[in-house]
């Protein structure tokens, strides 16, 4: 899939990112910047509380595809402007009856990319603003952020595999509280439940710091480790076999050889 994504002409006007060079792209209500091997995707639609349209989903999906195709990228940070991460889907856009292809493409991208994803939740996170966190590898939230998934309240149902992943992450009772009862929780509670790594201010600084650290690590090892963590293989023997295949591949790869050469170098 990654090769196909790399060949695709990005619909949001993006081009494949090359190495650690800086890049700044503004496409509609989404800003994509690259610095030092870290891509930052910023939802920038404050007048609508950063509600996401199909066009915005297209830009974000393109950014993830480009980052995933470039081993010079160590991590992708997703955040929002102001005091809102995102108010979720733009309901007017959804109610228009148009195709949902771009939102599906974005959800497919966040569930399958090998490059690490890091979320900086700077405020309100509703609907997909919460469920996309389940596909991020690291999540940092502001203590006073508000997270909710009011799908039932809107006469809808959960999406982004949240009905499967949320109970795994926070337990069935807490998941029911969010997905059925529509309860809102703050960032501190989200961290206590395990939905976030930490609740702290500013969340974006923590996210960028983690991304910069990942960008200094061997990219193949980082991505291969992420895919093992995300594997559907649940048996111990099956996972051990999967790990051994990846381990042997890494053992024979240039990254390991470089690390050994550096450690053998006289100091």
Q: Based on the domain organization, do 139 and 236 belong to the same domain? A: no
Do 5 and 65 contact (CB within 8 A), yes or no? Answer: yes
Q: Based on the domain organization, do 6 and 101 belong to the same domain? A: yes
What is the predicted pLDDT for the residue at 30? 97
Q: Based on the domain organization, do 69 and 181 belong to the same domain? A: yes
**Does residue 136 register a pLDDT over 90?**
yes
Query: 38-91: per-residue pLDDT in tens?
Result: 999 999 999 999 999 999 999 999 999 999 999 999 999 999 999 999 999 998
226 φ/ψ angles, rounded to the nearest 5 degrees: -60, -45
When divided into structural domains, the chain yields a total of 2
Task: For the chain, give the mean pLDDT.
Answer: 90
Residue 13 backbone class (left: φ over 0; alpha: ψ -120 to 50; beta: rest): left
Answer whether residue 142 is part of any domain: yes
Q: Based on the domain organization, do 152 and 211 belong to the same domain? A: yes
**Does residue 263 register a pLDDT over 60?**
yes
Angle at 186 between CA 185 and CA 190, to 5 degrees: 80
Supply the range of the domain harboring residue 239. Answer: 231-264
Q: Based on the domain organization, do 248 and 205 belong to the same domain? A: no
Q: Based on the domain organization, do 81 and 14 belong to the same domain? A: yes
Cis peptide bond prior to 202, omega within 30° of 0: yes
Report the distance separating Cα 256 and Cα 95, nearest Å.
52
Query: 77-91: per-residue pLDDT in tens?
Result: 999 999 999 999 998
Percent of the chain with pLDDT over 90: 82
Q: Based on the domain organization, do 94 and 120 belong to the same domain? A: yes
**Does residue 21 register a pLDDT over 90?**
no
Q: Based on the domain organization, do 260 and 170 belong to the same domain? A: no
Span 205-210, mean pLDDT? 98
Do 38 and 70 contact (CB within 8 A), yes or no? Answer: no
Answer whether residue 224 is part of any domain: no
Q: Based on the domain organization, do 235 and 200 belong to the same domain? A: no
Edge-to-edge, what's the strand order for the sheet holding 185-186? 84-86, 124-126, 146-148, 185-186
Query: 165-192: per-residue pLDDT in tens?
Result: 999 999 999 999 999 999 999 999 999 9
Say whether pTM exceeds 0.95: no
């Amino acid at each position: 899939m990654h090769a196909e994504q790399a060949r695709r002409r990005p619909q949001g006007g993006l081009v494949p990112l090359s190495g650690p060079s800086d890049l700044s792209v503004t496409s509609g209500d989404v800003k994509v910047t690259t610095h030092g091997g870290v891509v930052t995707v910023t939802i920038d639609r404050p007048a609508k509380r950063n509600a996401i349209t199909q066009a915005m989903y297209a830009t974000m999906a393109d950014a993830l595809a480009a980052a995933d195709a470039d081993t010079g990228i160590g991590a992708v940070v997703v955040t929002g402007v102001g005091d809102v991460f995102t108010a979720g889907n733009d309901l007017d856009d959804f109610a228009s009856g148009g195709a949902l292809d771009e939102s599906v493409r974005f959800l497919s991208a966040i569930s399958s990319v090998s490059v690490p994803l890091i979320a900086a939740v700077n405020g309100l996170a509703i609907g997909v603003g919460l469920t996309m966190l389940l596909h991020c590898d690291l999540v940092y939230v502001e203590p006073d952020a508000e997270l909710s998934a009011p799908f039932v309240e809107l006469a809808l149902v959960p999406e982004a595999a949240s009905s499967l992943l949320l109970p795994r992450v926070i337990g069935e009772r807490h998941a029911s509280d969010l997905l059925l009862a529509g309860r809102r929780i703050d960032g501190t509670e989200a961290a206590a439940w395990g939905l976030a790594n930490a609740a702290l201010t500013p969340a974006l600084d923590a996210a960028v710091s983690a991304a910069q650290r990942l960008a200094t690590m061997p990219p193949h090892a980082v991505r291969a480790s992420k895919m093992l963590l995300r594997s559907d293989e649940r048996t111990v023997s099956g996972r051990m076999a999967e790990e051994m295949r990846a381990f042997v591949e890494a053992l024979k790869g240039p990254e390991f050889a470089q690390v050994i050469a550096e450690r053998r170098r006289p100091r």
